[in-house]
């Protein structure tokens, strides 16, 4: 047995460090030389805000929510922040497809004491980190523009964590069913309409009542409602429903991803 192999076998497993954190550390090292990719995610909502929302705001005027009328940018800005948190988590989660199908990254990991459950947790944690980077960058833009109108805004970043967790778990679970790169077209078929119609640019009241129920079932709707309520100060018990919805989506997604990764790697 070589000296390296002997050292590998005899080195005790660092129980003080959860295996999921080791995967987060690995991903951070991979992105160390391509950090611009991590910063690029907040530019898309910034472009929407600069070249779409503000110009249209002069024509649309205010948006009425309950008894309050908001400037159009103050209505859309929090929704774009929720979408930024979603994109950061979900699109990083799709990197699992390459690692699973082509890079064979997890085959090597599972030859160590790391389990499929650790892989699901670690990749979810990293996707949430990327989501928070996107969210923090865009949140600073909203603060500078004065689009956060309440002290409840202090909870916006933790709310972005919940959104990121929900979409990270669901994203990792979803990509385990993908067979090839063409299947990503199906992802866009879901993500783009959800972004456009989950009350991002107009309130729920514009829909017929039958369609309102469909919109309210969308995960991004719950993220948008959560961030918008914190930004405007219109907080109620319904925000706990939003948190529960997204948290449950993340937990179920991780459980499914763990079983799927285990099954795919043991074929």
Instruction: Convert the pLDDT of each residue in 222-259 to its tens digit.
Output: 999 999 999 998 898 989 999 999 999 999 999 998 88
pLDDT at 265 over 50: yes
pLDDT score for 39: 62
pLDDT at 3 over 60: no
Closest by Cα among 256, 19, 16 to 118? 19
Closest by Cα among 126, 152, 151 to 236? 152
Q: Which residue has the higher pLDDT, 35 or 213?
A: 213
Task: Report the chain's C-alpha Rg in angstroms.
Answer: 20
Closest by Cα among 94, 111, 121, 102 to 176? 94
Average pLDDT on 86-92 reads 86
Tokens of 72: 């159009």
Write the pLDDT tens digit of every residue in 188-235.
Answer: 888 889 999 999 998 998 899 889 999 999 999 999 999 999 999 889
Distance between CA atoms of residues 200 and 211, nearest Å: 15
Average pLDDT on 66-85 reads 88
Distance between CA atoms of residues 241 and 245, nearest Å: 6
pLDDT score for 35: 64
pLDDT score for 17: 61
pLDDT score for 36: 63
Closest by Cα among 251, 97, 247 to 187? 97
Average pLDDT on 158-166 reads 95
Quickly state the pLDDT bin for 118 (edges 50, 70, 90).
Answer: confident
Closest by Cα among 23, 134, 156 to 88? 134
pLDDT at 22 over 50: yes
Q: Are 254 and 128 in contact (CB under 8 A)?
A: no
* Neighbouring residues of 164: CB distance < 8 A, sequence distance ≥ 6: 85, 86, 88, 89, 127, 128, 130, 131, 132, 135
Q: Which residue has the higher pLDDT, 5 or 100?
A: 100
Closest by Cα among 120, 225, 138 to 176? 120
pLDDT at 50 over 50: yes
| Portion of the chain with pLDDT greater than 70, in percent | 89
Distance between CA atoms of residues 46 and 48, nearest Å: 5
Domain ranges of the chain: 19-265
Average pLDDT on 134-140 reads 89
pLDDT at 56 over 50: yes
pLDDT at 79 over 80: yes
Distance between CA atoms of residues 88 and 252, nearest Å: 19
């Amino acid at each position: 047995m070589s000296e390296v192999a002997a050292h590998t076998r005899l080195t005790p497993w660092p129980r003080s460090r959860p295996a999921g954190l080791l995967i987060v550390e690995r991903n951070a090292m991979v992105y160390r030389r391509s950090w611009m990719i991590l910063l690029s995610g907040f530019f898309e909502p910034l472009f929407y805000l600069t070249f779409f929302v503000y110009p249209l705001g002069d024509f649309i005027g205010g948006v009425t929510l309950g008894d309050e009328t908001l400037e159009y940018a103050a209505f859309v800005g929090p929704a774009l922040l929720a979408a930024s948190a979603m994109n950061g988590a979900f699109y990083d989660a799709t990197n699992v497809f390459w690692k699973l199908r082509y890079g064979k990254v997890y085959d090597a990991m599972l030859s160590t004491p790391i389990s499929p459950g650790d892989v699901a947790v670690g990749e979810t944690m990293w996707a949430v980190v990327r989501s928070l980077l996107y969210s923090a960058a865009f949140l600073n833009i909203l603060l500078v523009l004065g689009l956060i109108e309440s002290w409840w805004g202090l909870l916006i970043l933790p709310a972005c964590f919940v959104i990121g967790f929900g979409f990270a778990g669901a994203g990792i679970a979803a990509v385990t069913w993908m067979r090839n790169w063409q299947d990503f077209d199906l992802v866009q078929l879901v993500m783009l309409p959800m972004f456009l119609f989950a009350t991002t640019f107009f309130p729920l009241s514009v829909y017929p009542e039958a369609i309102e129920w469909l919109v309210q079932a969308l995960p991004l709707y719950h993220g948008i409602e959560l961030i918008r309520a914190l930004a405007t100060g219109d907080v109620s018990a319904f925000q706990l429903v939003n948190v529960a919805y997204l948290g449950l989506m993340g937990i179920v997604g991780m459980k499914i991803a763990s079983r799927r990764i285990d099954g795919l790697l043991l074929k």
